[in-house]
Structure 1
Amino acid sequence: MALISTEQLHLYHKMDRKIFSLLVIQLARNPSQSLLVMALWLWLESLGYPSLISKLVGISLNTINDVANEAESCLMCLELENFPIPKNGGLLLTTTILDMAISLKFFKLRRFSIIYGVKYVLNETCARIFDDILLHVLGKTYVSRLLPPYPYCRPMINIPGFPHPLFGKFPPIKFEEFNCDSFGRMMWTNNRLFDDVENEDKTMFLTFSKGFPVTGEEVRHFFTINYGVHCIKSIRMGKRNSNGQVLDATMVVNNLETLDIILNGRRLAKFDFNRKHIWARKYERRE
């Protein structure tokens, strides 16, 4: 399989690196937030939107700064449950530059798919193409330790702001080459990122009302009728209480897109069927 050097990789991502440099050097924006902004823009491109990054090349610094501010609004919309969405969608400049409608509501409704997509691009692309720029910006202050003095080894750095509460860790910068073919296969499939997240990330926690028993068959029937026959990977009903009723269950859906569709931008969704109730939310593992 073909190997691509760091220099070749940087050349391939020349425009991405140029815009990232403008963000963190000339505009002096926060490095961790700038990484997330770039990951968001690259993810949008993978989804089929026009390349916002290529359109920013040659535009004034003030405009780039304003578009980055809109991207940070998108990130805040992912983080905050009650983030206000203006009637105009809140992304007027981004819409103008892309020449394609896009709104903060899009980020609210596809929250979990976008979080994973941004996290994936952050780890698989941004960590590889912005390493030297980060070293330049952060300097020796944040170099936590050095790799053994082998040829071409680079320091591993801690990026302030990571691990991020929503997007997790930023991987250590410690490579000189990587496999180009496998990288390409990992990143894109039919213009869409692989949905290869762990089952835990695709798990929903369901609760039921006391006095109105719900069976596993009823749960499966309700969701497959409303969200597609293949939407569920597995259902695990909870333990029965003293009255013999199951009050909760965990359901693994087949992909993050289904999870977002079910929740429809809500942290807690309520469903009524046959005079019974189901409350659904994203499963969060407790340490």
Structure 2
Amino acid sequence: MARQMFTVRDVLYMYSDARTAYDRFVGIGSNPEQARNAVALLVWLDQCNVRAIQHLPGLSPTAVSLVAAEANSVLDCLRGPEPVVPAIPLISALCKDGDVDPRFFTFHQDLVVRGVADILDGVGSLIFNNHLNKMLRRYQTGLVGNPPELMAAYSCLSVAVPEDCRSMFITFSRGAPIDREEIFDYFRQKWGDCVVRVLMEKTAGGSQPMYGRIIFRSEAFVQLVLNGERLVKISIRHRQIWLRKYVPRPAATQNQN
């Protein structure tokens, strides 16, 4: 039996609720990256039969703002070192059965993060593509022709991106040493197999490294760590590290191993 092929246009229509949710989140002032992450979370929940996203078009701006805040509380608990049960009363109320247990997010962080990352790396490339969505609205009737971009076959395979695009620069507090294995284990225990490797500053004479670099398997993990922030802080065994998106610097690159 031949496998059904979907066009970009087909997929955009299938995820029209997700695009509407994204536009509404941005419309109430949400940071675009936070809006993307929140929508990806809601899409993943929808695929798990927690169907809250379909109600977004009919909600008031105040209710939309509350849904965005609840989704971000889930994303924050996924990043934090200690499991904190998020409060999501409105998302729960929007679901048919109203039985979403917030504890699921804290006890199954790896499952949730991998699911959301797959959305961001996969169909999210269409959902959050402003150019394609503007084109879809322009040619939505299909009566005036369909541009090749919309009629192209959709591939569900994620596009590989360079290491620099899926890396984070990390800095440490002086006097609170931390090694690469601890950083690696922190993310592996929370999010599963998400880190390729951790690089640390080369030092001499036993000096403590003051910076390093984490290379994730996917750019989506970087987006989920930052969630719209320029700089975030996490605690590993009561020692703080700061993370931000990696910007290649030849001198720093040569001084890591």
TM-score, length-normalised on structure 2?
0.51
Match for 2:149: what amino acid?
Answer: F
Which secondary structure does the structure 2 equivalent of 1:267 belong to? strand
Q: Relative to 1, partners in 2 of residues 1:222 and 1:94: Cα closer, same or farther, differing over 3 Å?
A: closer
Which secondary structure does the structure 1 equivalent of 2:245 belong to? coil
Match of 1:281 in 2: 242
Shift of 1:238: 0.8
Match of 2:180 in 1: 219
Shift of 1:195: 10
1:91 pairs with 2:88: yes
Find the aligned partners of 2:177 and 2:64 in 1 and give their Cα distance.
Answer: 50
Q: Relative to 1, partners in 2 of residues 1:196 and 1:219: Cα closer, same or farther, differing over 3 Å?
A: same
Which secondary structure does the structure 1 equivalent of 2:42 belong to? helix
Counterpart pick for 2:213 among 250, 258, 269: 250
Q: Percent identity?
A: 8
CA contact (8 A) 1:235 1:250 kept: yes
Structure 1 unaligned regions, length at least 5: 81-86, 137-150, 155-173, 187-193
Which secondary structure does the structure 2 equivalent of 1:68 belong to? helix
Equivalences, count: 216
Match of 1:178 in 2: 152
Q: Relative to 1, partners in 2 of residues 1:20 and 1:247: Cα closer, same or farther, differing over 3 Å?
A: closer
Find the aligned partners of 1:30 and 1:119 in 2 and give their Cα distance.
Answer: 23
Find the aligned partners of 1:234 and 1:206 in 2 and give their Cα distance.
Answer: 16
Which secondary structure does the structure 2 equivalent of 1:252 belong to? strand
Find the aligned partners of 1:20 and 1:232 in 2 and give their Cα distance.
Answer: 30
CA contact (8 A) 2:170 2:243 kept: yes
Alignment of 1:50-61 (within 5 A): 50-53=50-53, 56=55
Find the aligned partners of 1:230 and 1:19 in 2 and give their Cα distance.
Answer: 27
Find the aligned partners of 1:203 and 1:246 in 2 and give their Cα distance.
Answer: 16
Find the aligned partners of 1:22 and 1:245 in 2 and give their Cα distance.
Answer: 46
Match for 2:52: what amino acid?
Answer: L
Shift of 1:78: 8.8
Q: Which is greater in Rg?
A: 1
1:267 pairs with 2:241: no
Find the aligned partners of 1:239 and 1:71 in 2 and give their Cα distance.
Answer: 45
Find the aligned partners of 1:18 and 1:271 in 2 and give their Cα distance.
Answer: 38
Deviations 1:203-260 (A, max 9, x none): 35142534x766xxx5326744994596652232213268744333223355666997
Counterpart pick for 2:125 among 123, 126, 130: 123
Shift of 1:177: 1.0
Alignment of 1:16-55 (within 5 A): 16-17=15-16, 30=27, 36=36, 41-46=42-47, 48-53=48-53
Q: Relative to 1, partners in 2 of residues 1:224 and 1:62: Cα closer, same or farther, differing over 3 Å?
A: closer
Shift of 1:89: 4.8
CA contact (8 A) 1:269 1:281 kept: yes
Find the aligned partners of 2:72 and 2:186 in 1 and give their Cα distance.
Answer: 34
Alignment of 1:66-85 (within 5 A): 68-74=64-70
Find the aligned partners of 1:234 and 1:93 in 2 and give their Cα distance.
Answer: 39
Match for 2:89: what amino acid?
Answer: L
CA contact (8 A) 1:89 1:102 kept: no
CA contact (8 A) 1:202 1:259 kept: no
